[in-house]
Amino acid sequence: MEYTNYFKEIVSLAYKEDLYVGMGNPNGKVLIIGKELAIDNYKENPVAEKTLKQNAADWQINVENPNNHIENCESNDDLNLFNPLYPYKGMGKNQQPTGHTWRKYQLLQEKLFERNRMNIRFIMIFSSLS
């Protein structure tokens, strides 16, 4: 993965300031901004620790080692393999619980790009709705 200098700066700042960067491909053409509060810090502490609190540290490792192979993380039992670049890599959408956010994102992506991988201009669509 090749990271822009701007993204590297964001990761460096986030790492120093203990901030959350996010998940997914930073070079992707689609950006989904969501409110992720589905993780209960008390009941799912290992999940929260790895996916939220370790986020900037994991990105720092990715930026410093851009050619590292990213293993599959097919369940919360494999959290040591979790990587914010490819969250839940290897997990089929049918393995994810019905309400799982990443399953919804996968279904959305499939619907948006199913016809000849057409490009959707989100700004025009959402601007016309406001």
Which residue is associated with the tokens 């039992």? Answer: 77
pLDDT confidence of residue 10: 95
Using CA of residue 109, residue 111, residue 117, residue 118, what is the dihedral sign?
Answer: negative
Lowest mean pLDDT among 1-10, 54-63, 111-120, 121-130: 121-130
Which residue is associated with the tokens 């309400």? Answer: 99
pLDDT confidence of residue 116: 46
Summary mean pLDDT of the chain: 76
pTM as predicted: 0.71
Summarised one tens digit per residue, pLDDT across range 30-65 is 777 766 656 666 566 777 777 778 999 999 999 999
Summarised one tens digit per residue, pLDDT across range 46-55 is 777 777 789 9
Q: Which of 88, 18, 80 is nearest to 55 (CA)?
A: 18
pLDDT confidence of residue 11: 96
Domain ranges of the chain: 5-96
Separation of alpha carbons 32 and 90, rounded Å:
21
